[in-house]
Amino acid sequence: MLFHPAVLSLYLFSILISLMVLYAAFYGVQILMRWNLQSGSELQLSLEKKTYLISTLLTYLFSFQLISLFSFTHTVEHLHPLFVGAMCAAGTLYVNAYGYPALLLKLFNFLLAGLWLILNYTDNRGYDYPLIKKKYLLLLLLAPFLWIETILQMSFFLDLKPDVITSCCGTLFSTDPSSVASEIASLPSLPMKWIFYLVLFSTVGLGLFFYRREKGGYLFAVMSGLSLLVSMASLISFISLYFYELPTHHCPFCLLKKEYGYAGYPLYIALLGGAITGMGVGVLMPFRKIVSLKEILPSIQKRAALISAILYLIFLIVATYPVLFSTFRLEGY
Amino acid sequence: MWIEKQGNIIDFTLSSLLRRKRKNLALISVYMLVIFFFASVMFFTHAIKKEASIILKEAPEMVVQKMAGGRHELIPLGYIEQIKEIRGAHSVKGRLWGYYYDPVAGANFTLMVPGEGEVEQGGIAVGKGVSRVRFLDEEDEMEFMASDGEVFGLKVKQIFSPESELVSSDLILISEEDFRKLFGMVKGVATDIVLSVRNPKELSTIALKIAERLPDTRIILREEMLRTYEMVFNWRGGMMLVVLSGTLLAFIIFSWDRASGLSAEERREIGILKAIGWETSDVILMKFWEGTVISVSSFFVGVFLAYLHVFFLSSPLFEPALKGWAILYPKFKLIPFIDFYQIATLFFFTVVPYTGATIIPSWRAATIDPDSVMRT
């Protein structure tokens, strides 16, 4: 059990987020069951009012989720000196089995919440709540994941046993330091580079193509999702190495540190933003035929595709900068 | 256009906040007080943790203590030779130190034997705290009672500078001969053994070897000491925060209540706004900016006051709980250590719950029907 203030604040965060989503889901169920735009009943009126509340709640939730994502990685990094063998955040997350699942779920929920906001934005633009049922179905899907995340995160922190001096024995080396793996397995760098640049450039290209011609929306969305995965793998495989100028340090979290100019923040924000807006284009594709959205949907999609392409481009530039301009050569031998 | 809209809404929010000065000032001062408490605890624990880690940087990498019956015992100097044989261990030295209870001051002093030649026989060097409670000046004599009851005096040769007070407040440096005489300690033993290691990666290997050769010892690494201090202060700070969480909860209930209990005047104002064309989402936006203005101003004032409290006044409110206590506690001003992370954590602790508590009330305010309010 850790009583670190930052850990306590993360508990607070996740409990607040879980309660918010529970409240929203409760009304989500009501909307799914009772929603009838034709009716002028009191219930329908109150449900229409509630949609404002739920949009506001989810907007806050989304921003809280982003903050808690970065706060979580930062806290985990901060705690690493407490564990033998943990050199940075990657090591702390390995201390027990809950660390990485919690982090991945945080990422996943952030993406899901982002897609929900895109749906919500589109829905609010149509005059007859065209996407209301889909929107609340997605919300009901998000709620359990957020709860699992809260539980995983709590289990992670509660299960951390720092290696401190005990009264009986000051020595710790009896516990094998190698049991805490502090390095992350990585893919070979050279083929990864090819895949990375191929996928990322084609995603940016497809995004711009969609912006101009409004064609290939599904393909672009799939590629944005793929780009996210490939970029994550590449960050571990070679991009981070160029930032650290070390051929052995594969940690994707140290990028967020001051020593490396906080390069991780623009990288991750551009990457996550690009993925959300890019996949949002695909999510909106099936609704192009709905009457009340016919006029506005293409412009929303085009804007999303453009934003996604720009963000991925920013990610590419920030990630490629050290590859080109640092003196470090990864395949130099 | 988007920015203009926000600007106009902020404009309106500020003027409406100023119209209800007294009510908002009450909220801000309570808010500020909560932030002040939380910030003081966090600044203090963080600074003292930093202080401890700076001091421990100078500590030996490894300390070997002899154990007997689960208790720390004097270690034979013969062990030094055995440790020296281990490859990689160097500057292996025995240390002599202990505590002396001084009945005049009613306090415990830490006695230490420094390296050879630093203090001559018959002389001592004392910390500022010792000189304060015993009214000692240089060249004064201080009496000690040896373990056999004999009283003898030692001359103060030096008083440490006030800068080092955190480490040296209760310290007395004494020569080896006087030390052994005072505590009746035979030759050939030391309090513990310290050593350093050339390659830090070998620390645990060397510790293991020592533990194998000398099974009756316990080995403490500097890292472990650092870790333990970190944990102790984290724990103390965390405990204080848990205690204070009651305050936070009270504040959340207060702000929830305040945000939902709109006065007739406020309700009419919102009714009029909606009647002249504001949408529900605009009113929610206005409420958002209202919350932001209140939070940000309370946050900055609260943090500023906490900074003064901790770093200029040495946190008189929390010191005893956080630092532990001792009769001869050093007087010192903490060096201000504040980083963005701390401020961010503080922000999460205070502003986020406040925001969470006001979402539903502000939505309720924003969905008021204009006609129903204006008719009353």
CB contact under 8 A, A9 and B345: yes
**How deeply is B217 buried, as exposed, middle or buried, from its count of CB atoms within 10 A (0-12, 13-18, 19+)?**
buried
Task: Enter the tokens of residue A295.
Answer: 């006029």
Residue A82's closest chain B neighbor by CA? B227
Same domain, B85 and B213: yes
Structural domain boundaries enclosing B323: 2-56+228-375
Say which CATH number the domain at B140 has.
2.40.40.20
B348 has a chain A CB within 8 A of its CB: yes
Does residue B216 sit in the same domain as residue B86? yes
Specify the higher pLDDT residue, A37 or B302: B302
Give the list of residues 6+ apart from residue B329 with CB closer than 8 angstroms, or none.
B129, B169, B323
Identity (one letter) of the amino acid at A62? F
Choose the mutation target among B249, B287, B343, B348 for the interface with A, i.e. most A CBs under 10 Å: B348
Residue A52: predicted pLDDT: 86
Q: Do A13 and B284 touch (CB under 8 A)?
A: no
Tell me the C-alpha distance between A246 and A327, whole Å. 11
User: Which residue positions in chain A have pLDDT lower than 70?
Assistant: 1, 85, 163-186, 331-333
Looking at the structure, do residues B39 and B80 belong to the same domain, yes or no? no
Question: Considering only CB atoms, which chain A residues are within 8 Å of B70?
Answer: 168
ipTM above 0.85, yes or no: no
Question: Which domain-ending residue is among B205, B221, B237?
Answer: B221
Residues B195 and B284 in one domain: no
Do B352 and B313 fall within a single domain? yes
- Minimum CA–CA partner of A63 in chain B: B352
pLDDT of residue B320: 67
pLDDT digits (tens, 9 = 90+) for A25-81: 999 999 888 888 888 888 888 888 888 888 888 888 888 888 888 889 888 888 887
C-alpha angle A84-A88-A92 in degrees, rounded to nearest 5:
60
| Closest alpha carbon within chain B to A56 | B359
Model confidence pLDDT, tens digit, residues B331-374: 556 777 777 888 888 888 888 889 888 888 888 888 888 887 77
Inter-chain residue contact A170 with B70, CB threshold 8 Å: no
Q: Answer with the one of B221, B256, B271 that is the final residue of a domain.
A: B221
**With an 8 Å Cβ cutoff, are B234 and A2 in contact?**
yes
Work out how many domains chain B is built from and give that number.
Answer: 2
Closest Cβ opposite residue A162 in set B227, B352, B356 = B227
Return the minimum-mean-pLDDT range out of B43-47, B220-224, B326-330: B326-330
Same domain, B234 and B273: yes
Do the Cβ atoms of A163 and B341 come within 8 Å? no
Which residues 44-103 of B have a C-beta within 8 angstroms of A? 45, 65, 70
> What's the DSSP call for residue A256?
G
* CB-based contact, B226 to chain A, within 8 Å: yes
B19 and B135 part of one domain: no
Q: Chain A within 8 Å of B354 (Cβ-Cβ)?
A: no
Q: Do B234 and A78 touch (CB under 8 A)?
A: no
Counting one residue from chain A and one from chain B, the pairs whose CB atoms sit within 8 A come to 113
Facing residue for A71 by CB, picked from B205, B227, B344: B344
The two structure tokens encoding residue B109: 């002093």
B114 and B188 both lie in a single domain: yes
Of B178, B204, B221, which one is at a domain's C-terminal end? B221
Q: Which residues of B touch A81 (CB under 8 A)?
A: 223, 226-227, 230
Stretch B54-79: mean pLDDT, rounded?
85
Identify whether residues B214 and B266 lie together within a single domain.
no
Residues B232 and B191 in one domain: no
Question: Minimal CA–CA distance to A77: which of A264, A308, A285?
Answer: A264
B309, B315 Cβ separation under 8 angstroms? yes
Residue B79 CA to its chain's centroid (Å): 38
Is B241 in the same domain as B360?
yes
Q: By the CB < 8 Å criterion, does B207 face chain A?
A: yes
In this structure, the answer to whether residues B52 and B67 fall within a common structural domain is no
